[in-house]
Chain A
Amino acid sequence: MLVKPISNLGRSGIEFLTALGRALLVLLHALIGRPQFKKHFPLFVEQLYVVGVQSVMIIIVSGLFIGMVLGLQGYNVLVQFKAEASLGPLVSLSILRELGPVVAALLFAGRAGSALTAEIGLMKATEQLSSMEMMAVDPLRRVISPRFWAGFVSLPLLTFMFSVIGIYGGKMVGVDWLGIDEGTFWTGTQASVDLYDDIAQGWIKSVIFAVVVCWVSLFNGYNCLPTAAGISKATTQTVVHSSLIVLGLDFVLTALMFN
């Protein structure tokens, strides 16, 4: 009676490894090879608009509110210890180190990642990818690769925007509303934020998250069952898997970087 759970475990293990191997091959096929700038660059720019520019609004609004909430909650705690002058470092370090890369990646997975999966899944279901193959155009190079690079470039930039706006949101609440001295806020921030330890490491995180989210989204679309249910499942999987991987990886990266 123990055999069944063990064999199920084995089967899931094999399925997971097979999927991982396939995903790796898809990524390698898409990315390795001589780029044809004349053909591929316009595709990349188009995707930069779809994946990056169209995500700016959600990033800015979320960044602003998260910064404001952080400012408000931080103030309420700090003021009890007469330490409200530390609000600047609190807000900026939390955002630059953790919230910026993580929340931006989660939003990006929800906004752009799910759209990428659905788009590619639908292209597969309507045989557009197959017809490209039969026209001797490699869909991995033509469809997957520009979307991957566009996401890879966009997410770190979006994270940067998120962080800047978030810190500004914290300042709006702390300084403009609750009356902390502006000089204190910015001096504290400047003194505690380090270019390498905080900004660069946050940026490294966002680059890694960009790879993960794009990879998961594109592979789920490329690998989905070409039916309505298949696309719906793949889109959900994209959001769930990328969110979980981002959160898990964030812990690992934080442990590695800040210890």
Chain B
Amino acid sequence: MTMLQDPLIRIENVTFFRGLRKIYDNVSLSIPRGKITAVMGPSGTGKTTLLRIIGGQLKPDSGSVFYEDRNVPKLGRGALYELRKRMSMLFQSGALFTGMNVFDNVAYPIREHTSLPEELIRTLVLMKLETVGLRGAAFLMPSELSGGMARRAALARAIALDPELIMYDEPLTGQDPITMAVLLKLIKELNTTLGLTSIIVSHDVSEVMSIADYVYLVSGGRVLAHGIPDQLKEERHPDVYQFIHGLPDGAVPFHYPAGNYLEEL
């Protein structure tokens, strides 16, 4: 597959435990440069954990995570913080700083990492806000934003320093169809116009498949299937089929394991 020849990120044989529970069992996957890669799977399979492992917030128990040629878990604090300037993450809640307005939130990473004059920062921030359609909301406080607007504001903050990589953590969860469409459009456009590499973690199958270039399906600590969206739609493996088509019963049973129903009655 040509798109995997020059991956930005390579995850190799990663095993990760949370307490005694094995979240990832010897997982390997790679994230192609300049593409939108979706990581999908049922809730609770550790998709967000995967993003945190890539960002170096969590260390795997074994295995390597290469960002280009750098092994993230082995980086020292300074090198890790330096690397994080090149990546960005959109949190599920948006994670805007509640004490600052939208403008200051977007300006925050620029002010922290550059010594640009305030006038230039203003121009940059307004440009980023215009991209996400929130220039008019620059002076609102996060508490005054709707859920969708908060995510767009957080997206503007995430692209403030023009990163190479954006990781989206469940960007569509709990959004109405219009907001979902807006967010999908933004993710796609940003990826194309800024030449970003994007990773979307989500379980909104059809929406994410519509913009993703490559899809990984993870479940039970393993990669169940991967490929371009059309390949996955054709996949007949029962687990994959049930998830992609959203069937209530199948490889993942509808019923939580229990004793005999009649006997219990």
Contact = CB atoms under 8 A, between A and B. Distances in A.
The judgment on whether A and B are partners is: yes
Interface of A: 39, 126-128, 130-131, 133-138
Contacts of A130: 57, 91, 95
Contacts of B156: none
A126 B95 contact: yes
12 contacts: A39-B112, A126-B98, A127-B91, A130-B91, A130-B95, A134-B84, A134-B89, A135-B88, A136-B109, A136-B113, A137-B112, A138-B81
A135 B84 contact: yes
Contacts of A127: 91-93, 95
A26 B10 CA distance: 31
Give the 10 A-B CB pairs with smallest separation, nearest first: A131-B95, A127-B95, A136-B84, A134-B89, A136-B81, A127-B91, A136-B85, A135-B109, A137-B112, A128-B95
A39 B96 CA distance: 20
A215 B87 CA distance: 32
Contacts of A136: 81-82, 84-85, 109, 112-113
A133 B91 contact: no
B17 interface: no
Nearest to A136: B84
B112 A134 contact: no
B89 A131 contact: yes
Contact of B109 (A126, A128, A137): A137
Contacts of B84: 133-136
A40 to B, nearest CB: 11
Interface in B97-134: 97-98, 108-109, 112-113
B113 A134 contact: no
A138 B84 CA distance: 11
B55 interface: yes
Nearest to B51: A134
B98 A135 contact: no
B144 to A, nearest CB: 16
Contact of B57 (A126, A133, A138): A133
Contacts of A39: 112
Contacts of A135: 84, 88, 108-109, 112
A131 B91 contact: yes
A131 B109 CA distance: 11
A136 B57 CA distance: 11
Most buried by B among A136, A137, A138: A136
Nearest to B91: A127
A138 B109 CA distance: 12
Nearest to B80: A136
Most buried by B among A135, A136, A137: A135
A135 B158 CA distance: 8
Contacts of A137: 109, 112
Contacts of B87: 134
Contacts of B113: 136
A190 to B, nearest CB: 47
A134 B51 CA distance: 11
B147 to A, nearest CB: 13
A90 B93 CA distance: 57
Contacts of A126: 93, 95, 98
A11 to B, nearest CB: 15
A116 to B, nearest CB: 14
A136 B114 CA distance: 12
Given A130-B57, A131-B89, A138-B81, 9 more contacts: A126-B98, A128-B97, A134-B55, A134-B88, A135-B112, A136-B85, A136-B109, A136-B112, A137-B109
A27 to B, nearest CB: 16
A127 B98 CA distance: 11
Contacts of A138: 81
A137 B105 CA distance: 13
A98 B82 CA distance: 49
Given A39-B112, A127-B91, A134 B57 contact: yes
Nearest to A138: B81
Most buried by A among B57, B82, B89, B154: B89
Interface in B148-197: 154
Contacts of B154: 131
Nearest to B160: A135
Interface in B2-39: none
Contacts of B92: 127
Contacts of A134: 55, 57, 84, 87-89
A246 B152 CA distance: 46
A183 to B, nearest CB: 53
A123 to B, nearest CB: 8
A39 B115 CA distance: 11
A127 B51 CA distance: 14
A126 B84 CA distance: 20
